Amino acid sequence: MKVINERKVAGNIENDLLSTLIDANDLNGSKASVKFVAESCKTTYFAGHETSSITLKWVLLLLALNPEWQARVRAEITAVCRQHIPDANALRQMKLLTMVIQETMRLYSITPLILRETLQEDIKFGDIWFPGGVELMIPVAALHHDPYIWGPDAGEFNPERFANGASKACKFPYLYMPFGFGPRVCLGLNFAMAELKVILSLMLGKFSFTLSPNYRHSVVYGIVSEPEFGVDLIVRKV
């Protein structure tokens, strides 16, 4: 809030994302609008940094717990990249790594809840009426672990379920929503996937990961789903 107000006092002359948000929302001294800009900035920080870094931790944890998958992914990276930094074409060929990331985001939904607010007028969704201005919570983590949607192995790490893409991975494709779904889907979806694949391919191509006996498993559900005590891994050069 302090940064936003300082920018307004200074005349908002910077050419950056914050200026764009301020201009687009026509603040006019409205506290609600200032709050909206502040929340948008926080969302950008969490969505652009925290989500990718925490997802990376969960991927490495699951690969450490499933060495056969770690070996398969490493073999794919070696074959595709040939000891080079992956380019766009290489990223498209990393099918196994993509499956592992998708399954990780199912088991450890980086956003455990998605919040949506209805418009000011009442709306009807299916057979249900929602009054205007109410906040709805979509329990993403619960949906991603529901055996009715994913089958009896819903609690297990099984990247093979994504072998034919996310749309064929479960009973109702729209219920897989690590990045949200529909017109409000995360704008950074493709960038985040590319970012994760580049980082993981560089790491897995050079190092192997096994679980440390110091690791304590505890998932904390807040704005994001994160490991309460971090992820302790033993790293060896391959």
Annotated binding site for heme: 186
- DSSP assignment of 130-159, as one string? E-TT-EEEEEHHHHTT-HHHH-TTTTS--G
Task: Measure the CA–CA gap between 9 and 13, rounded to whole angstroms.
Answer: 10
Cβ proximity of 174 and 156 under 8 Å: no
DSSP annotation of 157: -
Bind-site residues:
186
Token digits for 116?
């949506």
CA–CA distance from 119 to each of 31, 115, 122, 227 (Å)? 19, 13, 7, 35
Residue type, 108: Y
CA distance 155 to 63: 16
Indicate the SS3 state at residue 145.
coil
| Residues 6+ positions from 218 with CB-CB distance below 8 Å | 227, 228, 229
